[in-house]
Amino acid sequence: MKIYIKGIDDERFHRPLRLIGNLFFEETELCFSEGDASLEAEFFIEDNGENVKIKGILRVDGKEYAASKDQQIAADLEGKDRLRVVKNTLSYVYLTILQEYTGIIQKWGILTGIRPTKLYHKKRREGMSEQDIHKMFKEEYLLSDEKIDLMKQIVNRQLQTVPDLDTLSNEVSIYIGIPFCPTKCAYCTFPAYAINGRQGSVTSFLGGLHYEMREIGNWLKRTGIKITTVYYGGGTPTSITAEEMDMLYEEMVTSFPDVEKIREITVEAGRPDTITKEKLDILNKWKIDRISINPQSYIQGTLKAIGRHHTVEETIEKFKLAREMGMNNINMDLIIGLPGEGIEEFDYSLAESAKLMPESLTVHTLSFKRASEMTKNKHKYKVASREEISVMMDHAVKWTKDHGYAPYYLYRQKNILGNLENVGYALEGQDSIYNIMIMEEQQTIIGIGCGAASKFVHPETMKITHFANPKDPKSYNDGFKHYTEEKIKILEELFV
Ligand code: SF4
């Protein structure tokens, strides 16, 4: 969709205009001359230092839709903070006219590219009351009451699970990335290389991983910095052999400080076709207390269409096996809006989940990530309409509530169907602490292994620095020592 934008010369406003446009139309292109644009949006900005007034008019097919907003700007706001207020005002006006024109109401208002609950926590820490936060989100960000209440519920639940959330910046969590999977799923953009025939590369990758774990562990021991949680993701960390898993967890226990005091260790066992009795024995041996077994859907045709070469029966069978073997904190993921699925199929997956009752259920909404096979061949995949997606989300909310689950974290992504969200639900006391830590960005997450992104949070200023290990095993194997050194350098700057 090409949109002719008038009255906005400052390039810093182009991004918010594009982001808001993308909530309504696929791939918005802004243009600054009339050309062959389908819509015309004109803006008038008056900024007198204390006040900014923005008026917007959308012209289409001879009709006009107009909105305006008058926003006071606090005298002490400068630079980026002041610019943010002006950008938000522009987004507010643009969203309002687009909502009026399309008839689509955006439940998340102008919140794009921001972690909603992180912003909620920030306002809470600044001393705002729940009522004032509600008012702010509703009036300044145009959020629906439903989404504000969801955030409030999540924030309160997180504080119940991690009462010291606000003071955990002096500890770290660790993410360990293992980049192999049995096959690649169509919607996936994670580092996930088909494991078959790559045994040589797996062995050298694990050599680098053990090295990183040892070095990072030594640094933590030396500095006395505690680990809050550890998370093994990827890929599918249970794609490697039971013996390799055994050696890996032994390395963790030897290298990391005070492993018995770590609050939670999760291993994603996402693909049921990687789970065996032998591997579950290893997880038990090393007291791994949380795993994830992901059905995504209980419809066999869907699994085939998205390239997951396992059966629905296998998911159920492996879940039961894990239960029998004593795994008592199992997460399962479902995805709303998988190709070919509508309300009926999603309801079926919820009904099947009721038979298993995992401790937590993460409900994702399908997102078309740029690099995925699904996005590259979008025409091949038929997905549900915006209205159907919204009904499925409502069914997930009702189902989880009826079955004793509560939402405890959420995140939103670009190009997510229906502009909705991904929500983690858990039974009482079963929330994943790692998921809370990664979403709320209250402490450093050290990423180790392939594709592992580190997020360094300064313990006082909370400023975030990113660092990414390479995604492919070959580059990782060539440079793991260098990546380890770089991370330790950043850690030294932050903590020592
Ligand atoms: S199992 Fe997960 S990581 Fe592996 S290919 Fe599928 S979505 Fe990607």
Domain end marker among 104, 139, 155: 104
pLDDT digits (tens, 9 = 90+) for 242-281: 999 999 999 999 999 999 999 999 999 989 999 999 999 9
Note whether 94 and 15 are same-domain residues: yes
Q: How far is ligand 1, taken at its centre, from the CA of residue 457, in Å?
A: 28
Q: Give mean pLDDT, residues 197-201.
A: 67
The CATH number covering residue 31 comes to 3.40.50
Q: How far is ligand 1, taken at its centre, from the CA of residue 236, in Å?
A: 7
Note whether 202 and 350 are same-domain residues: yes
Q: Ligand 1: which residue has its CA nearest to atom 6?
A: 185
Instruction: Give me the pLDDT at residue 197, please.
Output: 64
- Residue from 176, 178, 180, 188 to probe ligand 1 pocket by mutation (most atoms less than 8 Å from CB): 188
Domain end marker among 104, 119, 134: 104
Structure tokens at 402: 């009826």
Given pLDDT bands bounded at 50, 70 and 90, which one contains residue 218?
A: very high
pLDDT digits (tens, 9 = 90+) for 386-395: 889 999 999 9
Region label for 114, one of left (φ > 0), alpha (ψ between -120 and 50) or beta (otherwise): beta
Instruction: Give me the pLDDT at residue 279, please.
Output: 98
pLDDT digits (tens, 9 = 90+) for 272-325: 999 999 999 999 999 998 999 999 999 999 999 888 889 999 999 999 999 999
Instruction: Give me the pLDDT at residue 185, please.
Output: 83
User: Phi and psi for 360 in degrees, rounded to 5?
Assistant: -140, 150
Range of the domain at 326: 165-493
Q: How far is ligand 1, taken at its centre, from the CA of residue 411, in Å?
A: 19
pLDDT digits (tens, 9 = 90+) for 332-357: 999 999 999 999 999 999 999 999 99
Beta-sheet pairing, 29-31 with 2-6: parallel
Beta-sheet pairing, 51-60 with 63-72: antiparallel
Q: How far is the CA of 160 from the CAs of 155, 192, 209, in angstroms?
A: 9, 35, 34
Instruction: Give me the pLDDT at residue 198, please.
Output: 66
Q: Ligand 1: which residue has its CA nearest to atom 3?
A: 235
d(CA 17, CA 56): 12
Q: How far is ligand 1, taken at its centre, from the CA of residue 185, in Å?
A: 5
Q: Ligand 1: which residue has its CA nearest to atom 5?
A: 184
Does any domain span residue 9?
yes
Does any domain span residue 200?
yes
**What is the number of domains present in the chain?**
2
Note whether 192 and 97 are same-domain residues: no
Predicted TM-score of the model (pTM): 0.93
Does any domain span residue 205?
yes
* CB neighbour list of residue 4: distance below 8 Å, 6 or more residues apart: 31, 32, 33, 34, 35, 37, 39, 40, 41
pLDDT digits (tens, 9 = 90+) for 421-480: 999 999 999 999 999 999 999 999 999 999 999 999 999 999 999 999 999 899 999 999
Percent of the chain past pLDDT 70, that is, above it, reads: 99
Domain end marker among 104, 129, 144: 104
Does any domain span residue 142?
no
Does any domain span residue 136?
no
Q: What angle do CA 198, 204, 208 make, to 5 degrees?
A: 135
Please give the mean pLDDT across all residues of the chain.
94
Q: Ligand 1: which residue has its CA nearest to atom 2?
A: 235
Q: Ligand 1: which residue has its CA nearest to atom 7?
A: 188
Instruction: Give me the pLDDT at residue 200, please.
Output: 65
d(CA 192, CA 451): 9
- Residue from 271, 294, 306, 310 to probe ligand 1 pocket by mutation (most atoms less than 8 Å from CB): 271
Note whether 286 and 421 are same-domain residues: yes
Note whether 3 and 72 are same-domain residues: yes
Note whether 90 and 234 are same-domain residues: no
Residue 189 has pLDDT above 70, yes or no: yes
Note whether 272 and 417 are same-domain residues: yes
Q: Give mean pLDDT, residues 172-186.
A: 92
Q: How far is ligand 1, taken at its centre, from the CA of residue 333, in Å?
A: 12
Q: Which atom of ligand 1 is nearest to the CA of 268?
A: 2
Given pLDDT bands bounded at 50, 70 and 90, which one contains residue 34?
A: confident
Classify each residue of 389-412 as buried b or exposed e, where b means 16 or more C-beta atoms within 10 Å of its C-beta: bbbbbebbbebbeeeebbbbbbbb
The CATH number covering residue 400 comes to 3.80.30.20
Instruction: Give me the pLDDT at residue 370, please.
Output: 63
Q: Which atom of ligand 1 is nearest to the CA of 235?
A: 3
Note whether 461 and 313 are same-domain residues: yes
Structure tokens at 236: 């599918």
Region label for 258, one of left (φ > 0), alpha (ψ between -120 and 50) or beta (otherwise): left
Does any domain span residue 147?
no
Note whether 175 and 89 are same-domain residues: no
Note whether 290 and 361 are same-domain residues: yes
Instruction: Give me the pLDDT at residue 487, please.
Output: 98
Which residue type, as a one-letter code, is found at position 318? K
Note whether 319 and 427 are same-domain residues: yes
Percent of the chain past pLDDT 90, that is, above it, reads: 81
Cross-strand bridge partners of residue 411:
422
Note whether 70 and 216 are same-domain residues: no
pLDDT digits (tens, 9 = 90+) for 121-165: 999 999 999 999 999 999 999 999 999 999 999 999 999 999 999
Q: How far is ligand 1, taken at its centre, from the CA of residue 228, in Å?
A: 26
Cβ distance 463 to 396 under 8 Å?
A: no
Ligand 1 pocket, Cβ-based, cut-off 6 angstroms: 181, 184-185, 188, 190, 192, 234-236, 270-271
Instruction: Give me the pLDDT at residue 191, please.
Output: 84
Instruction: Give me the pLDDT at residue 45, please.
Output: 96
Does any domain span residue 54?
yes
Does any domain span residue 127?
no
Q: Which atom of ligand 1 is nearest to the CA of 308?
A: 6
